[in-house]
Structure 1
Amino acid sequence: MIMLTYNEIRYNAREYLKGKWNNPCALIFLILAIINLGVSAIPYLGSVVSLLISGPLALGMAIIFLKLVRGEEISVEMIFAGFKDFTRSLTAGLLIFIYVFLWSLLLIIPGIIASFSYAMTFFIMADNPNLSANEAIKARKEMMRGHKTDLFLLELSFIGWILLSVLSFGIGFLWLGSYIYTANAIFYHEIRVEEAPQVIIEAPYEEQTVPPPDIEE
């Protein structure tokens, strides 16, 4: 069981995002949306290109939001940080796609469960640059044991915001994306504390703690 409640995770996420909602966070998601739209418009090869860049972009996003909750500076160009580690992030992205796809063949629900099971992989990779893609995927298995339902319920707690973002013709996702990613980064730290002795290899938790958000009185 995670130590913080879902309300506390969301509250802390909003505190970390103060002053950063628009720049750089909304700008990051705008660029991400433009990239995805541009890639999807490529005739015939769009889906292939999307698969090739999804891993590096996911690693870049993990790096950004881990830095955010650790009180470090973030910038728009960090979205491309995963391309500096292209082979490892590409391999992880492809493996996760294959594994989730295979689970989805059993039925939709196993596929959904698998997607939550692999959700922390890129956070682990961001924390452990010397860990291979396979090792990170194995580490997330231990980390997520008993926590997949916790993550599902955390994501479900955003359902109202998701509906509002849909009603805004998708514009709201530019801000909601940052909210959810920050909450996931906090969630990662919560379960990382619990599982650190078993699964964190390169970066001991004591060296990378999450500072409490600055709360204005």
Structure 2
Amino acid sequence: MRCGVLYSGGKDSTLAALVLEPFYEPTLVTATFGIADVVAPGRRAAAGVDLPFETIELDPAVAARAAERMVEDGYPRNGIQQVHEHAVETIADNDFSAVADGTRRDDRVPTVDRSLAQSVEDRFGVDYLAPLAGFGRAAIDDLADRRLRVETGPSETIAKADYETELRALLRDEYGPETVADVFPKHTQSRVVGRR
């Protein structure tokens, strides 16, 4: 069975695909609004772990609404949640038997609650999978250290295949660079470069 794994090129989404690999045919799927180049980093990360890669187009109106929400809120949480839900639903509406993401137990955002998971399954006839839902950050870091070659860096500079990159670009273009700094806290992100 083909499983579309929502893919950022980071360690969480990569580990999710590796956990599913014995049971499904995982395809790493980078969702894009076409605002910034997230496809090339996704393709490189997927090649590094030798898994199939696809892209899927998201509705740019969702990105615009998410950006407005983030500016209104002064933080990214609700906007990122909107985009993640849209991405899960968009992948589910394609040629997959299952859709998965790399959300973990201690994620504050994005998350997929039980009602949304059941709704996606019922509306699209797919299984929704969250293979890392029982793992916390420390366990993920340990697993990644054993199984993956990972680069880390500031979220503003590391090239990833995620919608945060595109939302940052949209905010920069529409609201100015100072808004990006105001909305997004500084944090470190990971980028997978291969398996160990």
Q: TM-score normalized by structure 1? A: 0.29
Give the structure with higher Rg (CA): 1
| Structure ranking higher in helix proportion | 1
